[in-house]
Amino acid sequence: MTTTAISTYHALTEAEAIALAAGLFPAGTDLECQEIGDGNLNYVYRVSDRASGKGVIIKQALPYAKVVGESWPLTLKRAAIEAAALRKHGEYATDLVPEVYGTDEELAYTIMEDLSHLTIAREGLIQGKEYPKLSNDIGEYLAQTLFHTSDFALHPFEKKRLAAEFSNPELCKITEDLIFTDPFFDYETNDFEPELRQTVEAIWHNDRLKLEAAKLKRSFLTEAEALLHGDLHTGSIFADDNETKVIDPEFAFYGPIGFDVGLFIANLIAQGITRNGDGRGTIVGHIENTWQVFETRFTELWENEGIEDFKKVPGYRESVLDKVFKDTLGFAGCELIRRTIGLAHVKDLDGIEDAAVRIESKKQALRIGETLILKRSELTSIQDVTALLKEL
Amino acid sequence: MTTTAISTYHALTEAEAIALAAGLFPAGTDLECQEIGDGNLNYVYRVSDRASGKGVIIKQALPYAKVVGESWPLTLKRAAIEAAALRKHGEYATDLVPEVYGTDEELAYTIMEDLSHLTIAREGLIQGKEYPKLSNDIGEYLAQTLFHTSDFALHPFEKKRLAAEFSNPELCKITEDLIFTDPFFDYETNDFEPELRQTVEAIWHNDRLKLEAAKLKRSFLTEAEALLHGDLHTGSIFADDNETKVIDPEFAFYGPIGFDVGLFIANLIAQGITRNGDGRGTIVGHIENTWQVFETRFTELWENEGIEDFKKVPGYRESVLDKVFKDTLGFAGCELIRRTIGLAHVKDLDGIEDAAVRIESKKQALRIGETLILKRSELTSIQDVTALLKEL
């Protein structure tokens, strides 16, 4: 399934990167180039003005993924999906995604706004940062991007055109396997400490939990509600105290709205587990505020910009948001479980140095994950969710 | 949104139709051609051997639809969708769809098996025919086509490729408007006798009903579960006592499984309303048998051919079928309402000559439609559905 473009595809040289970026600077600017990616999935070139330091980013997809030491082929088409998603989401959340200056499908690169003055939110949160604007901005981002790409805002021809354009089978398959399937079975992609084996085996034998996971997987496979980011964890967000930018939407596709909301909230929960006292309170506040801002803005957009004939029918908006809320909890639960025992972990939990605390924290993550999946019909407010974190 | 092919598109002449079909007959066969379509949406040419009478059908899409005396442009792409759906469904329900011999996208025609020895099921049912194989065959058709094109049977790459191939925005829009929207509002496409006005206005003011209709519309817009026929009423079925063939899948797209099941059952209900005694009993039997055969065969396919990792989790298949059942009832309810007061009626009800009986029958159709929509969570078996017909 890798694209034919691989035959002409090659990794950009630094000189090529400079040439591609040159047009974005005044003629004669003295430019330099640094490759600053981690080399697992993409090259990331920063081309900058030696004098002012001002730069742009060129992100180029690798034709394979390196995970746990192995490589497997991965479609280059994801670069085009990512660029198109940044542009589409940028129409509705202009200040919350990097600007795209150019893109090339064959060489699988995107030239975009340089965000190196910001830090990855996960890294900052692990260092104890508060990011006071984070939940306001992400709540706004979620409402704007998800509402505006849904049937509530788009003519059905445009919505279906976008759904076909953003068909993203290979990246979706990664999610289908790693979030919704593998962690619930004794499959070899799973990765966890021996001390967790008993807890993990209990998951593999918990038919009630697996039934709910199966339903959530089915929602992910079938429900084309809005153009999702598709991988909205705290590592996909650049931030500082004043700014928030959502990056890396290469998993973008038409899916259930609650998936984006749930992934973000799950990653906040994973961070909250590692904190105590006021530190945890900050995270609790972000979780509650994310949902509240999302719900409030979604409601305003529904009322002011909604095109659905049934939009004024009493209870309809509430019923839509209720579905999104329950989906959010279920997807958050799956994300917490897979980030603890699946292939791809989070540094928040893995980075806890004290082994006993780390194991106990992971058990807490698994327990909250299970509760969110199993009790998502009973938990009726975001405070019911954060109570799980406060109770630890 | 009509295709560019219109510039080269032209209605086939009878001589062209004969030339296109000639290769399907022995060299030198003396062929004749008759145009036998109703001229509203398509030309239908029957090319046959003068000596033996054996023929083939060439169906050519018109670049517009004639409805209630007006014309509006309608994509020619529907011919390609129809041919592709016949072929795809034919892979799984070989004997239950016409064989496709050839197709041309630019001229928007499909050459297919001649079924003129059969009658349209709606016409036969109106004449009181029993069609003893009808519900067995349609139950089988539904299970085979819907299971095999779902995520339960297809690799996700193939499912998503098909979902994009069968993106069918223009024809879906007709359904979105005429089934799910217009009948619930005082819109000008609606068409009903003055004697029904009070009942119809009660529908327009029934917020509980409209809330449920909105949810069903949303399912139709977002839930890409399987490759549907998309318009499976009794006028899309050719039958006699021994054979059943499903035709005209030009509305095919990836949608909720219950939509196909629900449309068929709604049209049986509309026919059942017009009958009494044993005649009604036959229809009750067909409704119950359709669901039972569908459920039984879907279950067998799930167990024998299902590829979903979660397929053996206790309760998962039941939960999927429970959703399909509730969707079926809701969609059937919408179909009953729109076939009574919307733009496109059914001859079963419109053809009742006695005005008082016709109005009363239509009120029964509306009442059953409302009940199916509002009570779809309480009606737990297909016998609960047919009880509504028996109680009349």
Nearest CA in chain A to B163: A164
A72 inside 8 A of chain B by CB = no
Residue of B207, B225, B310 with shortest CB distance to A210: B310
Q: How is chain A split into domains, by residue range?
A: 14-113, 119-391
A221 inside 8 A of chain B by CB = yes
Contact B172 A181 (CB under 8 A): no
How many Cβ pairs closer than 8 A exist between chain A and B? 103
- pLDDT value of position B6: 43
B185 inside 8 A of chain A by CB = yes
Contact B164 A160 (CB under 8 A): no
- As a whole number, mean pLDDT of residues B327-351 equals 98
Contact B156 A173 (CB under 8 A): yes
B contacts of A221 (beta carbons < 8 Å): 151, 156, 159
B259-295 burial, b at 16+ Cβ within 10 Å, e below that, comes to bbbbbbbbbbbbbbbbbeeeebebbbbbbbbbbebbb
pLDDT at B1 over 60: no
**Do B14-113 and B119-391 share a fold?**
no
B312 inside 8 A of chain A by CB = no
Q: How many CB atoms lie within 10 A of CB B155?
A: 12
- pLDDT value of position B67: 61
Residue B254 CB contacts under 8 Å (≥ 6 apart), including other chains: B149, B162, B163, B166, B224, B225, B226, B227, B228
Note the pLDDT tens digit of each residue in A132-189: 999 999 999 999 999 999 999 999 999 999 999 999 999 999 999 999 999 999 999 9
- As a whole number, mean pLDDT of residues B31-56 equals 93
A218, A220, A257: best to mutate for the B interface, most B CBs within 10 A:
A218
- As a whole number, mean pLDDT of residues B161-166 equals 97
Q: One-letter amino acid identity for A146?
A: L
Query: For residue B226, how many C-alpha atoms fall within 13 Å in the half-sphere facing its CB?
Result: 25
Distance, CA of A150 to CA of A146 (rounded, Å): 6
Nearest CA in chain A to B174: A156
Lay out the sheet containing A119-120: strands in order across: A119-120, A237-239, A244-246
**Closest alpha carbon to A62 in A83, A86, A84, A38:** A38
Q: Which fold has domain A14-113?
A: Phosphorylase Kinase; domain 1 (3.30.200)
Contact A151 B211 (CB under 8 A): no
Q: One-letter amino acid identity for B362?
A: K
- pLDDT value of position B65: 77
Contacts 24+ apart (CB under 8 A), A95-101: A95/A243, A96/A137, A96/A140, A96/A141, A96/A144, A96/A244, A96/A245, A96/A246, A97/A141, A97/A245, A97/A246, A97/A247, A98/A57, A98/A245, A98/A247, A101/A24, A101/A56
B contacts of A3 (beta carbons < 8 Å): none
CA A71 to chain B, closest CA, distance in angstroms equals 20
For the record, the structure tokens of B18 come out as 């004969």
- pLDDT value of position B102: 96
Residue of A156, A172, A217 with shortest CB distance to B310: A217
Note the pLDDT tens digit of each residue in B32-44: 999 998 777 899 9
A316 inside 8 A of chain B by CB = yes
B contacts of A210 (beta carbons < 8 Å): 310, 313
A contacts of B225 (beta carbons < 8 Å): 222
Give the pLDDT band of residue B73 (cuts 50, 70, 90): confident
Distance, CA of A109 to CA of A102 (rounded, Å): 8
Contact B157 A167 (CB under 8 A): no
CA A164 to chain B, closest CA, distance in angstroms equals 5
B contacts of A181 (beta carbons < 8 Å): 309-310
Residue of A151, A157, A221 with shortest CB distance to B156: A221
Contact B213 A310 (CB under 8 A): yes
- pLDDT value of position A220: 98
Contact A222 B218 (CB under 8 A): no
Q: Which fold has domain B119-391?
A: Aminoglycoside 3'-phosphotransferase; Chain: A, domain 2 (3.90.1200)
Contact A173 B185 (CB under 8 A): no
**Which 124-183 residues of chain B touch chain A by CB within 8 A?**
151, 156-157, 159-161, 163-164, 167, 169-170, 172-173, 176, 181
For the record, the structure tokens of A242 come out as 């004043």
Contact B164 A164 (CB under 8 A): yes
Nearest CA in chain B to A170: B157
Nearest CA in chain B to A177: B309
B contacts of A319 (beta carbons < 8 Å): 211, 214-215
> Hey, CA dihedral for B4, B7, B13, B17, is it positive or negative?
negative
Least confident of A69-83, B91-105, B253-267: A69-83
Contact B224 A222 (CB under 8 A): yes
Distance, CA of B152 to CA of B148 (rounded, Å): 7
Contact B313 A211 (CB under 8 A): yes
Contact B223 A223 (CB under 8 A): yes
User: Has the ipTM of the complex gone over 0.90?
Assistant: yes
- As a whole number, mean pLDDT of residues B215-239 equals 98
Nearest CA in chain A to B205: A313
Residues A321, A295: contact at Cβ < 8 Å?
yes
The tens place of each residue's pLDDT in chain A, 392 residues long, gives 334 444 589 999 999 999 999 999 999 999 999 999 877 789 999 999 999 999 999 999 998 876 655 577 889 999 999 999 999 999 999 999 999 999 999 999 999 999 999 999 999 999 999 999 999 999 999 999 999 999 999 999 999 999 999 999 999 999 999 999 999 999 999 999 999 999 999 999 999 999 999 999 999 999 999 999 999 999 999 999 999 999 999 999 999 999 999 999 999 999 999 999 999 999 999 999 999 999 999 999 999 999 999 999 999 999 999 999 999 999 999 999 999 999 999 999 999 999 999 999 999 999 999 999 999 999 999 999 999 999 98
Query: Can you name the residues that pair with B34 across neighbouring β-strands?
Result: B46
A185 inside 8 A of chain B by CB = yes
Give the pLDDT band of residue B68 (cuts 50, 70, 90): low
B3, B157, B160, B184: best to mutate for the A interface, most A CBs within 10 A:
B160
pLDDT at B4 over 60: no
* Token pair 């009942």: residue: B199
Query: For residue B167, how many C-alpha atoms fall within 13 Å in the half-sphere facing its CB?
Result: 17
- As a whole number, mean pLDDT of residues B289-317 equals 98
**Which 319-338 residues of chain B touch chain A by CB within 8 A?**
319-320
H helical segments located in B306-354: 316-341, 347-350
pLDDT at B2 over 60: no
DSSP A134-168: HHHHHHHHHHHHHHHTSTTTS-HHHHHHHHHHT--
Residue of A181, A213, A224 with shortest CB distance to B224: A224
Residue of B156, B160, B176 with shortest CB distance to A156: B176
pLDDT at B5 over 50: no
- pLDDT value of position A64: 84
